[in-house]
Chains A and B, each alone.
Chain A
Amino acid sequence: MSYTLFILLLPLISFLVIGVVDMDIPKTGKVWSHKAAGLIGTASLGIVTILSYYTAFEYFFCTPRLADGTLPTLVPFNATWLPLGNLHFDLGILLDPISVMMLIVISTVSLMVHIYSFGYMHGETGFQRYYAYLSLFTMSMLGLVLATNIFQMYLFWELVGVSSYLLIGFYYTTAPAIAASKKAFIVTRFADMFFLVGILIFGYYTQSFNFSFAGTVEYADGATHFIACNPETALIKNAAMTVLPISLVLMFIGGAGKSAMFPLHIWLPDAMEGPTPVSALIHAATMVVAGVFQIARMFPIWIDYAPQSLSIVVVVGAFTAFYAAAVACAQSDIKRVLAFSTISQIAFMMVALGVCLPGHGEHANHASLGYMASMFHLFTHAMFKACLFLGAGCLIHAVHSNEMSMMGGMRKYMPITHWTFLISCLAIAGIPFFSGFSSKDEIISACFQYSPICGWWMTGVAAMTAFYMFRLYYGIFWGTENKEHHEHHTPHEAPWTMTLPLVVLSVITVGVGIFTTLGGFLNWDWASFGSIVTATGTQYTIHFDAKIAATSTIIALISIGLATWIFKGEKQPIADKMYAAAPRLHRWAYKRFYMDEVYQFITHKIIFARISKPIAWFDRHVIDATFDLMAWCTHKTSNLIKGVQSGNVQKYALWFFGGIIVLFLIMYFTC
């Protein structure tokens, strides 16, 4: 399966071509760069998508399962990039169930975003640059999921960070975009520092940067074999007990930064300053789940050597899920609502990974149900959240504003956007026969298995999810129409390049939803996500727990009903009364519980004023002064002795001659 190399190479080539080649033909006066750049990017992504689907087909259906029922881990390509004694940094391609699943997710969403951007970015300056960055991002994200070792993952992890930075700051002439891109970069870099420390600790003590795998690893011809991480042969024998949990938690901090977990979430809402398709691709579907993917990658190590530390993941995830949902209930900017919803949903995935328990033999898949649920939710969430964001893009395209107050009553003007948005809202709310139901239900089952408190907590968050999503839905498509605004510019449906991706993504949402819902109730093993991705690699047929399924469905319906009751009408007396009853709560939630202000305070008032300023003073007055003194001494000394260099050749010769005589005398009298 060496063709998988092209999955990485094609976006790289298109990035270089689009990024470097000037596609305008100046003499004809026609602007070619739009069509050419877009077509090159989309075509290469199309080929990548076909290759990814073919890879998935070949991997899941044509690769025979091993005797123990697991799918083999394939390494079609792996080369030593930098050998360092026992350790070596490899670059390669690794195919296992989760990386192949991620290939599907990334290539699908990225292709949809490429097509969508034709319409959304039409006529923007920097169109070519935009497509170049998109290709760069896609390449990095694919490299991240296909990484054969944690170090390669880190390389591409930083690359997605850079491309995210570039795309958030795409409108670099506006101040908020610049601030947002810097904030995103600094916050994620800060978190990545912990990731790097974790990697180094891990590599040093286990003598390997490689992941540990549940299944068997099969190498293609010429691929460098890698030593899987083996704590038994580690430098310190008890590394497994002390060092591994520490390094894994440090890596989790890095993942929490990328995946916007509390308190490192502050960059994600601001990242919405970027173009909306970028938000759909990077800040909803793919890059922000990198943290979840990282934990899933290291999962065999987590579960074997640090199962207790997983509770940190649970606590962080559960709190973030609730916090983000609470904030999402009060936001008025539609992209902000979606951003907080994304944070909340990623936290669901984190919790699902955290609630896994170590199990043995037959029970391993059951105990680690959360792993499967998390990956499944990652898949379904990517599809419907991308659809929601792209739908939001259509709305913004129509009314030229992000504010909900500028919308209202949009269902008459934009039917396709309306229906696809509704489908995605139902999916995220967890209504049966939509994809979100199947995955979220598994997460909640896993949570209940872990502890009832966790289960009920996440059920509550799921209810809030349904509520705020339908608040958003009614606020946009029903409710009070902003007639004043619409008079200037009647909203219209977006062009087909923008609606097609919406339709495709919602078809996936519904299709996956129908099959997995029916499959979950009727025990169809072929329609179960567990037949491709599970913690141990063996097949596991999802079977819904009727009680949990019924409870979460009813709660979701009640929340939707509540949202309908409050927000559907032209006038919203109940909502107004609620604001009046708890103005402070609303204000706090609207201001995101002042987290940004807390950061501002900590960084400016404490770190900058109390730590950075004295250090800066020390630097300027002690370190700089030392060097200034040295320079001053040198200057003065050279002024003193520079007279020797008079330019008179005969004087030089005299010095030379005198020197020779002195040397001669020394040698004569000493030797």
Chain B
Amino acid sequence: MISIELLLLVSAVMLFAGIYGFLTRKSTLAILLSIELMLNSADINFAVFNRMVYPNGHEGVFFAIFAIAIAAAESAIAIAIMINIYRQLKSISADKLTKMKW
């Protein structure tokens, strides 16, 4: 039996990898991937807690499934936005997206 700490460690690594990617990558596509990484780490947490703490229920698993569905929809929207940004700016680099400032 793998201990709960090890499983949570995996999700924590994924979360921080996501945060790191979100803060450092310049391509918005890579930023989107990082967001997905963070979301998936949360999904892992749901599954882990369901399995380890409340083994008789299924709520955590269902939550994870919903979150995956929503993440899919969200990435579709995000990619659509990026295509639009690309048409406007001929680039999807986050450095160039500084129109929304003071």
The answer on A and B forming one complex is yes
A645 and chain B: residue at smallest CB distance: B102
In the complex, A145 Cα to B24 Cα: how many Å? 82
Q: Are A650 and B102 CB-contacts (below 8 A) given A657-B19, A657-B23?
A: no
In the complex, A459 Cα to B23 Cα: how many Å? 101
Q: Are A654 and B23 CB-contacts (below 8 A) given A648-B94, A649-B94?
A: yes
In the complex, A612 Cα to B42 Cα: how many Å? 71
* Range for the number of chain B residues in contact with chain A: 10 to 19
Number of residues from A at the complex interface, CB < 8 A: 10
In the complex, A646 Cα to B99 Cα: how many Å? 9
CB distance from A504 to the nearest CB of B (A): 77
A638 and chain B: residue at smallest CB distance: B102
**Chain A residues in 8 Å Cβ range of B31:** 650
Verify B98–A648 contact, CB threshold 8 A.
yes
Verify B98–A647 contact, CB threshold 8 A.
yes
- Tell me whether A671 is interfacial, beta carbon within 8 Å: no
**Chain A residues in 8 Å Cβ range of B19:** 657
**Chain A residues in 8 Å Cβ range of B69:** none
CB contact list, A637-671 vs B, under 8 A: 642, 645-650, 653-654, 657
Verify A647–B97 contact, CB threshold 8 A.
yes
In the complex, A642 Cα to B101 Cα: how many Å? 9
Verify A646–B94 contact, CB threshold 8 A.
no
Verify A650–B23 contact, CB threshold 8 A.
yes
Verify A647–B99 contact, CB threshold 8 A.
yes
A642 and chain B: residue at smallest CB distance: B102
In the complex, A649 Cα to B94 Cα: how many Å? 7
In the complex, A645 Cα to B94 Cα: how many Å? 15
- Tell me whether B5 is interfacial, beta carbon within 8 Å: no
Interface string of B74-102 (1 = CB under 8 A from A): 00000000000000000000110111111
Q: Are A648 and B95 CB-contacts (below 8 A) given A653-B22, A657-B19?
A: yes
**Chain B residues in 8 Å Cβ range of A646:** 98, 101
In the complex, A649 Cα to B98 Cα: how many Å? 8
In the complex, A653 Cα to B95 Cα: how many Å? 13
**Chain B residues in 8 Å Cβ range of A653:** 22-23
In the complex, A621 Cα to B41 Cα: how many Å? 63
CB distance from B81 to the nearest CB of A (A): 12
In the complex, A654 Cα to B97 Cα: how many Å? 16
A643 and chain B: residue at smallest CB distance: B102
CB contact list, B1-36 vs A, under 8 A: 19, 22-24, 31
CB distance from B23 to the nearest CB of A (A): 6
**Chain B residues in 8 Å Cβ range of A657:** 19, 23
In the complex, A646 Cα to B102 Cα: how many Å? 7
A644 and chain B: residue at smallest CB distance: B102
**Chain A residues in 8 Å Cβ range of B101:** 645-648
23 A-B residue pairs with Cβ-Cβ distance under 8 Å, sorted by A, are: A645-B101, A645-B102, A646-B98, A646-B101, A647-B97, A647-B98, A647-B99, A647-B100, A647-B101, A648-B94, A648-B98, A648-B101, A649-B94, A649-B97, A650-B22, A650-B23, A650-B24, A650-B31, A650-B94, A653-B22, A654-B23, A657-B19, A657-B23
Interface residues of B (CB under 8 A from A): 19, 22-24, 31, 94-95, 97-102
A645-B101, A648-B101, A650-B22 known, 9 other contacts, Cβ within 8 Å: A646-B98, A647-B98, A648-B97, A648-B98, A649-B94, A649-B97, A650-B24, A653-B23, A654-B23
